[in-house]
């Protein structure tokens, strides 16, 4: 085990938040909030480390800091951390391979893993997905794309700086997203070449799919021939690909088995599509102040949306079914396939769902209002 030069703050085990057998919903919600706060704190610390390392000139550095430190939901880093925690909490590999079974108890797992190189690779993965996602937002907001002036509750980069600086900020965030996986960063252990190669194999094609999906989305604007199947194909790339990357990368850093990776990928495919359906619903049901970006922008751009195809009520039901399917994929793996399809979607009596970071995150995503 390699020791990092400074302590990490992101928890590696959701179980470290003192759940008991009779945990209440409020305790579960509080623990989810603590976990998410710790992930966000770690990410903020790592962003500072990365920008000090990158040594970017002004105003490029200022623009990058501006867009990377806004009040975003940080869903993709949370997915990395939650998938990492899920695999750690439902796998014997850490005890079998690294620790003495007779001396390790679950309460000690977090402190033992906090200085582990696998955990630092998860930190790198969390940074990578947020860098790539933020680059896509900066470019989406440009006048040549959606021409938006508000993002994450603050003026967009090309409004605060200028269009050229915003364009270059997006460019450099994209390159840093890949560089961070193998960069020699202070406060990080040296990167694990085996894990890094696996992460790149997952990350690169899904980054490409995200851009392809953005092009298809632009092509679909004001088109009368787009079907719901076409729309789903667009969003499985534009939105879903990076969500898929985040969950798989978190699992890989924790040493996920082949069945665990399959479960994470299946879950991500459902959650990624559900996330986009939710966005379409929120665009017409939530205010600009709550969203932190212009409400009604889909209608303004005459975009094809799930609300346009289904209406709000049916789209909401569809999002719920997608979340249920994603949740069921994880529960099925946790139960080693012993639950029926009905049990996977409607009953969790035999599954410790309140103590699982990934299932808690899915519930959090379903209840989001922005």
Which pLDDT belongs to residue 68? 95
For 323-342, give one letter per residue: b (16+ CB within 10 A) or e. bbbbbbbbbbbbeeeebeee
For range 297-325, the mean pLDDT: 85
- Please enumerate in sequence order all residues whose Cβ is within 8 A of that of 283, keeping only pairs 6 or more positions apart, or say none: 291, 295, 296, 297, 298, 299, 305, 307
For range 193-205, the mean pLDDT: 97
Whether the CB-CB separation of 181 and 128 falls below 8 Å is answered with: yes
Which pLDDT belongs to residue 23? 40
pTM of the model: 0.84
Mean pLDDT, rounded, of the chain: 82
SS3 20: coil
CA atoms within 13 A on the CB side of 352: 13
Q: Which residue has the higher pLDDT, 113 or 75?
A: 75
For range 3-24, the mean pLDDT: 46
For range 160-178, the mean pLDDT: 97
Name the band, by pLDDT with cuts 50, 70 and 90, for residue 295: low
Q: Which residue has the higher pLDDT, 189 or 92?
A: 189
Whether the CB-CB separation of 280 and 310 falls below 8 Å is answered with: no
Given a cut of 50, is residue 303 above it in pLDDT?
yes
Q: Which residue has the higher pLDDT, 40 or 221?
A: 40
Share of the chain above pLDDT 70, in %: 76
SS3 151: strand
Given a cut of 50, is residue 167 above it in pLDDT?
yes
Cβ burial of 32 (10 Å; 0-12, 13-18, 19+) is buried
Given a cut of 90, is residue 246 above it in pLDDT?
yes
For range 287-301, the mean pLDDT: 65
* Range among 4-8, 345-349, 355-359 with highest mean pLDDT value: 355-359
Q: Which residue has the higher pLDDT, 293 or 131?
A: 131
SS3 347: coil
């Amino acid at each position: 085990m390699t020791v990092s030069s400074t302590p990490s703050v992101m928890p590696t085990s959701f179980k470290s938040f003192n759940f008991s057998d009779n945990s209440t919903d409020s305790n579960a919600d509080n623990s989810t909030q603590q976990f998410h706060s710790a992930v966000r704190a770690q990410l903020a610390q790592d962003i500072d480390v990365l920008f000090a390392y990158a040594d970017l000139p002004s105003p490029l550095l200022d623009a990058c800091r501006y867009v990377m430190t806004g009040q975003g939901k940080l869903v993709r880093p949370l997915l990395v951390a939650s998938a990492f925690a899920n695999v750690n909490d439902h796998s014997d590999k850490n005890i079998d391979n690294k620790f003495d079974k007779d001396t390790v108890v679950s309460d000690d797992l977090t402190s033992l893993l906090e200085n582990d190189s696998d955990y630092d690779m998860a930190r790198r993965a969390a940074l990578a997905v947020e860098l790539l996602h933020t680059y896509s937002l900066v470019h989406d907001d440009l006048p040549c794309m959606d021409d938006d002036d508000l993002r994450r509750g603050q003026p967009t980069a090309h409004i605060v700086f200028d269009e050229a600086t915003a364009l270059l900020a997006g460019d450099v965030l994209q390159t840093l997203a890949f560089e961070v996986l193998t960069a020699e960063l202070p406060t990080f252990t040296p990167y694990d070449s085996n894990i890094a190669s696996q992460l790149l194999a997952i990350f690169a094609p899904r980054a490409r799919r995200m851009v392809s999906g953005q092009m298809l989305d632009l092509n679909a604007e004001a088109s009368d021939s787009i079907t719901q199947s076409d729309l789903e194909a667009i969003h499985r790339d534009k939105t879903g690909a990076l969500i898929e990357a985040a969950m798989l990368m978190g699992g890989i850093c924790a040493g996920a088995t082949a069945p665990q990776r399959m479960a994470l990928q299946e879950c991500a495919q459902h959650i990624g599509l559900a996330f986009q359906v939710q966005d379409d619903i929120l665009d017409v049901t939530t205010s600009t102040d709550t969203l932190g970006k212009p409400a009604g922008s889909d209608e303004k751009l005459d975009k094809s949306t799930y609300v346009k195809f289904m209406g709000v009520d049916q789209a909401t039901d569809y999002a719920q079914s997608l979340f249920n399917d994603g949740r069921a994929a994880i529960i099925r793996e946790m139960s080693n396939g012993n639950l029926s399809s009905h049990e996977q979607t409607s009953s969790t009596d035999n599954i410790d769902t309140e103590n699982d970071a990934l299932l808690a995150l899915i519930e959090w995503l379903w209840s989001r209002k922005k």
